[in-house]
Amino acid sequence: MAILKVKDVSKRFGGLKALSDVNLSVEENSVHAIIGPNGAGKSTLLNCLVGKLIPDTGSVLFDNQSVLGREPYQINQMGISRVFQTPEIFGDLTVMENMLIPIFAMRDGAFRMHAYETIANEKEVLEQAEAMLEEMNMADKRHMHAASLSRGDKRRLEIGMCLSQKPRLLLLDEPTAGMARADTNNTIDLLKQIKDERDITIAIIEHDMHVVFSLAERITVLAQGTPLVEDTPENIRGNPKVREAYLGEAA
Amino acid sequence: MLGLNKKDTSLLIVVAILTLLAPFILNPFPSDSAMAQFNAGYPDLMQRFVIFGIFAIGFNILFGLTGYLSFGHAAFLGVGSYSAVWMFKLLSYNVIPAIALSVVVAGLFSVLIGYISLRRSGIYFSILTLAFAQMSFALAYSVLSNPKFNLTNGETGLQVYADDPQILQGANAPDLPHLFGLPMRATYTMDVGAWSFDFNAGYYLCAVIMMVVFYLAIRIFRSPFGMMLRAVKSNQQRMNYTGLNSKPYTLAAFVISGMYAGLAGGLMAAMDPLAGAERMQWTASGEVVLMTILGGTGTLIGPVLGAGFIKYFENIFSKINDNVLHSWFAFLPDGLEDAVVFIIHPFIGKGWHLTLGILFMLVVIYLPGGLVEGGQRLLNWIRRKSVGGDDTREGKTEPAE
Amino acid sequence: MDAILLQILNGLDKGSAYALIALGLTLIFGTLGVVNFAHGALFMIGAFCAVTLQKIFNLSYEVIDETQTDFLGNPLKVKTPYVESWFGPEMGATIIDWSVPLSILFAIPIMLMVGYVMERGLIKHFYKRPHADQILVTFGLAIVLQEIIKYFFGANPIQTPPPAALSGSVDLGLALGFDPNAIVYPIWRLVYFLFAVVIIGGVFSFLQFTTFGMVVRAGMADRETVGLLGINIDRRFTIMFGIAAAVAGLAGVMYGPLNPPNYHMGMDFLVLSFVVVVVGGMGSLPGAVLAGFLLGILESFASTTWATTTIPGINQIIIYLVAIIVLLTRPRGLMGRKGVMEE
């Protein structure tokens, strides 16, 4: 069953047509990669999925509910979590606090005046955060300021924060951009582990073919704002159209 | 104790002891000695310490936690004062309804201003709050003071007149602000040898209220709510993508700090039943910014320290004149003495604001964490000197509180 | 019709001051990305340049004239300014009379220097700090500068009269075909407005027609790219800061005859000028000028008896009211560019 359906989505910026008639569906519990050369409209598409942009036409359905016109925080509450190209974390706060915030957000919703509570007494939330830190191998760093973490650790933390909310769909925007090879491989391993251990759908926008072919089960190739093909990695590899539009260019 | 951890409990206890014993602590010099001018234990000054402390604690909940720099908080102080005086005029000189109303009215007023101002952030927010405060000042100073509708009594300031209704004022009640019959001006003076200590009812009322709101501030800092406010400052984007709506959080912080300011304004009126528009001017808003930054933004005790520091030295500096300086430097050779006095002269007496401005710039440039950070650095330095080991890391990872 | 024209004219002098200060604020914000709360203080320092020069010109020596006596019967002491003894009584008197316009020459090097020192000594270190820190440190600097002026010149306003030839009023209405006395306008206000127009024109043509100006404009649009071209943007920006300081200073020099300078005039104008910048659109130079004049004129209309009797005190709140409305409906201001301080 398709968990995310994008139907006939178009978006213009002035005279520039960033997306035209994009149709896409992401199957539940799959890893779906969206690739394409620079300027293909990948980021625009992603922003349409999370409420940052509203497409001019078309619809975006998550679990058969429209996400259009909702604020990013409402879309998150529907079960979509987003990982950014450069890790977006709470730099001034400690690693532990970073992990607590999404869990409180899940427990209490978009806003609550929980000023009468004391964090130290909220055992249940603390335990969940602790468990997630363990899972991310970051328990020993819990008192560090998040801003002082290494790039790879920031990425792990961000992914951990997203997972702690038990999302049904995890969107990743070039998760390994600007990373060293070792960090990239660690991230791939982490994502593989997540895929194997959880009931989760992963949609990933990526530039790095190594990452795409190590993870994806389905691949959509976007070129000039419109999907060129959608297929399995093996078939994409051999597809001459893709070669021409994208891989050939790179080779 | 009271839902606080050990560290916070001891902080609260220290603050409580210091405020309750302030009449002793602030009067360390015998009353007829030459050093008596450095005493700060008079009711009037002590009241100002705690009232501005409350104001700064509240401001810090907004600026310290969410990072929204308001340049218009004096408006809430003024609104609080006006509300309190109106209570005196209409009901009675009892301070309880007056203070209650000042908090409520300032709260409502800050919902209105906050709702509009918080639609923008950064420097736009600062300028919007500044514009609102200046507008409130102009409203209070002239617009709302005309024969048809006199809410503020303009230049003269709002005060209680003999023909005011005061419907609940009992026949025997004191003709000045009181707490169920205990006048705020009531002062018991205790003479111990050459020393003299003043215990003032108004001061103790303010001190108790300050301790309560300080305790509330600690609870806010340690609550998930406080953490969310710090998240607002740190990364609003991540917050919104984590399913949190940052707007109501910021508005709540704004209203809470507005209510603190209103409380401070109400207490000011309770100590001296007069409310003037100048209390709302943007220089007054600037003052609370100075206090908070100087003490230590985002720390619990910083704003209180900053308020005390500024109010104390404002008082002391205005008293030092050239004669005092000459007596201090009398040990120097004559020419040198004159030179030293000449150099220091611009910074004392009426030059206090010059000193304050310079001090403030130095703090912003070199010590962004204010007095609290300065104290911590000093402590670390001493510790390192005495131990000889390297424990700088501790000071860095521990949040400054 | 003539009444409307009169109010427009009445708004021009304040509008000119707003426009000049806002222009400098925008230049600094657009080039250096710094929010300068000390800009009003620069305006005030300019005004006190005129005060200083006037004092210097009036420095006198005393001669005891034995031939005359004062009312107590003592020999009369006659004070003669040095300028009069150097340039002759007539020329000397003219110099004293024209001290305010002459201060322009005196103020330009001083203001450039003040601007240079301020930028190199303080502002430079705050480029990378958050806007809140910039606001705070320049706010502190503004307090310091105003207290220094207060220390040397006292707290009371100091009269700086315009030259005799430029004081008094002209009947502009007559010249424009209205009834006599319908539009009587003080000459100095006219002078101030023309002066502002010349300065604004000068700044704009400097930015428009010189290569220096071109680089600065490019830097305002996209600092990084221009930096990548290997152009030393920072040095030019320092010079721009000096120019912005000079513009504010000159606005202050000539403002003296309209309103006697005092130490807090800078702060009074600063708050309003910031509002002007925001209304005009942060980072837009034409916006700053336009909004300056518009708000000045609006204020003048709100000060008419008709307006103040309808809504008492409207003249004092109108600018803030407009600013709040503009900020909420057009967050970018009248002419703000996309992408500049959006949030």
pLDDT in tens, A97-115: 999 999 999 999 999 998 8
For range A65-81, the mean pLDDT: 92
Tens digit of pLDDT for each residue in A214-227? 899 999 988 888 88
Nearest C-alpha neighbor of B89 from the set B139, B142, B162: B162
Task: Measure the CA–CA gap between B117 and B113, rounded to whole angstroms.
Answer: 6
Q: What is the CATH number of domain B6-283?
A: 1.10.3470
Residues 6+ apart with CB under 8 A from B189: B196, B197, B198, B199
Looking only at the bridges linking them, the beta strands covering A201-205 and A169-173 are: parallel
For chain A, the average pLDDT equals: 89
* C328 and B CB contact within 8 Å: yes
Q: What pLDDT, on a 0 to 100 scale, did the predictor assign at position A89?
A: 95
Give the nearest chain A residue to B223 (CA atoms).
Answer: A118
Q: Give the model confidence (pLDDT) of B295-323 as tens digits.
A: 999 999 999 999 999 999 988 888 887 77
Distance CA(B27)–CA(B35), nearest Å, equals: 10
Which helix or strand (DSSP H or E) is residue B205 part of? helix B201-222
Question: In this structure, which CATH number among 3.40.1350, 3.90.550, 1.10.3470, 2.60.40 belongs to the domain C2-58+84-329?
Answer: 1.10.3470
Please tell me the distance in Å from C197's CA to the nearest CA on chain B.
27
Domains for chain A: give ranges and CATH numbers: 2-79+167-250 (3.40.50.300), 94-166 (no CATH)
Per-residue pLDDT at C270:
86
Which one of A80, A86, A90 would you mutate to disrupt binding with B, by most B Cβ within 10 Å of its Cβ?
Answer: A90
Q: How far is A202 from chain B (nearest CA, A)?
A: 16
Which residues 232-251 on chain B approach chain A with CB closer than 8 angstroms? 233-235, 237-245, 248-249
d(CA C197, CA C17): 11
Nearest to C136 among B141, B282, B293 (CB): B293
Mutation target vs B (from A47, A50, A74, A88; most B CBs, 10 A cutoff): A88
- Residues C332, C333, C336, CA angle at the centre, nearest 5°? 60
Report d(CA B191, CA B196) in Å as an integer: 4
Each of the 343 residues of chain C gets a pLDDT tens digit; together they read: 778 888 888 889 889 999 999 999 988 888 788 889 999 999 999 999 999 998 888 888 887 777 777 777 777 777 888 888 788 788 888 888 888 888 999 999 999 999 999 999 898 888 888 888 888 899 999 999 999 999 899 889 988 888 888 888 888 777 777 777 777 888 899 899 999 999 999 999 998 898 888 888 887 777 667 766 777 777 887 888 999 999 999 999 999 898 899 988 888 888 888 888 888 887 788 999 999 999 999 999 988 888 888 777 788 888 888 888 887 788 777 877 654 444 3
**Over residues A121-149, mean pLDDT:** 94
- In terms of Cβ atoms closer than 10 Å to its own Cβ (0-12, 13-18, 19+), residue C229 is exposed
- Please judge whether A165 and B237 are an interchain contact, meaning their C-beta atoms are less than 8 angstroms apart: no
What is the pLDDT at residue C339? 47
What ipTM was estimated for this complex? 0.91
Let me know: does B109 contact B75? Beta carbons within 8 Å. yes
Interfacial residues of B (vs C; Cβ cutoff 8 Å): 67, 69, 116, 119-124, 126-128, 130-132, 134-135, 138-139, 141-143, 146, 282-283, 286, 289, 293, 346, 351, 353-354, 356-358, 360-361, 364-365, 368
Residues of chain B found within 8 Å of residue A122, distances taken between Cβ atoms: 224
pLDDT greater than 50 at residue B396: no
Task: Locate the domains of chain B by residue range.
Answer: 6-283
The beta-carbon neighbor of B135 closest among C147, C312, C317 is C317
Specify the higher pLDDT residue, A40 or A67: A67
Alpha-carbon span B143 to B123, nearest angstrom: 28
Record the pTM: 0.89
Task: Give the mean pLDDT of chain B.
Answer: 88
Residue of higher predicted confidence among C166 and B250 = B250
| Partner B contacted by A93 (CB < 8 A) | yes
What is the pLDDT at residue A251? Answer: 40
Place of tokens 């500044």: B130
Instruction: State both tokens at A121.
Output: 């007494």
Residue A246 pLDDT: 63
Structural contact between residues A192 and A6, judged by C-beta atoms closer than 8 angstroms? no
pLDDT at C304: 85
All partners of chain C with 3 or more CB pairs under 8 angstroms: B
pLDDT, tens only, B56-84? 999 999 999 999 999 999 999 999 999 99
B109 pLDDT more than 90: yes
- For A145-170, the DSSP string reads BGGGS-HHHHHHHHHHHHHTT--SEE
Question: Touching check for C6 and chain B: CB below 8 Å?
Answer: no
